[in-house]
Amino acid sequence: MNEDYFASPFYPPRARWWSRLLFPWFRLQRALHLEKIHCPAGFSTGETLLAILVPGLSFCMLGRRTLGHFILAAYGVAVPVYIVRLGFTEGNCAYGLMLAAHATSLFYLLSHWLGRLEFGIKLVLAFFSLLGVWLLLYYPMVCYFERHVAVPLLVRGQVVVMQPRLVADEVKRGDRIMFDLEEAEIGRAHGLGGAVRVNAGVGWGPVLGLPGDQVSFSTNSISVNGVVLPSLAHMPAGGEMLVPTNRWFVWPEFVISSHGNVSEENISALILQMATVSATQMTGRPYPTWFWRKQKLP
């Protein structure tokens, strides 16, 4: 007899082979009571996600279209201003506007979702809306942008937009590059020559020598493979060195914190230790132009 004859709508369907893979998710749902969480009234799942991700959309969906369009337009202006004026006051203000617009839109959606709330609870909700938007969306996006697209660097009071992706083999003499610095210290605060410390962070400076170059120091100048160049701040007054293989000679420019009666010899010796940069330390070079703004390096 045909088995379909005995089919019943009350008979549960057989579990599929992949059903066991969903058991952890079902357990998590029961433990956190996620099944009790529903989308805001009148919103589908897709609409809820869009209202969370698109600033101003929650206002439009809830009948306040003029305000929603205004927030969306302000956000649309703030994004290019932030990118074009990266590192400047205008860019920082645009970033704050983007964050405020997105947090306000999310707060309005949550207020509708949760119903009437006391004023104190609304303040807490507004704070966590701002914090959540920043931690979950903007902080990761900015980190990704600075790692792969551009990062602003303040050099002698001037904003320089750097290209964070750098191929070491393409670096030439005279290029200015950004590189990682490890914390270093030389001397003792109350000893002969004093103590000099370099804090970990980002170094910046011109590439003076390539791997294998011969560098000689004198009082007012240096010589790289026989080519004489003017001496930079805190360079040694004498001696010579051979740039090691897979290293680049870069004289860094940064703030030095010194303690005690610090000698120029100690300062020069510490910087010289850090002046040979490996390919793994290189983190960027300046863009020649950044959105039609020619970058003049200090």
The number of folded domains in the chain is: 2
Is 33 found in the same domain as 132?
yes
Residue 46 has phi, psi (to 5 degrees) of -65, -45
Is 219 found in the same domain as 172?
yes
Q: Is residue 153 part of a domain?
A: no
CATH code: domain of residue 289: 2.10.109.10
Q: How far is CA 86 from the centre of its chain?
A: 12
Is 172 found in the same domain as 262?
yes
3-state secondary structure of 242: strand
Say what percent of the chain tops pLDDT 70.
76
Which tens digits make up the pLDDT trace of 18-64? 566 656 756 765 665 555 556 666 677 778 888 889 999 999 988 89
Is 118 found in the same domain as 219?
no
Is 185 found in the same domain as 129?
no
Picking from 86, 118, 148, the residue at the C-terminal end of a domain is 148
Is 289 found in the same domain as 167?
yes
Which tens digits make up the pLDDT trace of 191-214? 545 566 666 567 788 899 999 999
Q: For 76-80, 96-100, 257-261, which range has the lowest pLDDT when averaged over its residues?
A: 257-261
Enclosing domain of residue 98: 19-148
Which tens digits make up the pLDDT trace of 149-190? 998 988 777 888 988 878 888 888 888 888 887 766 555 544
Is 216 found in the same domain as 99?
no
Is 94 found in the same domain as 49?
yes
Residue 161 has phi, psi (to 5 degrees) of -85, 120
d(CA 222, CA 274): 17
Picking from 148, 177, 192, the residue at the C-terminal end of a domain is 148
Q: What is the reported pTM?
A: 0.69
Tokens of 35: 């099944």
d(CA 30, CA 23): 11
Is 223 found in the same domain as 139?
no
Is 174 found in the same domain as 109?
no
Residues 6+ apart with CB under 8 A from 182: 200, 274
Q: How far is CA 200 from the centre of its chain?
A: 17
Is 282 found in the same domain as 169?
yes
Q: Is residue 132 part of a domain?
A: yes
Is 264 found in the same domain as 167?
yes
* Short-list 181, 201, 192, CA closest to 263: 192
Tokens 């020559």 belong to 193
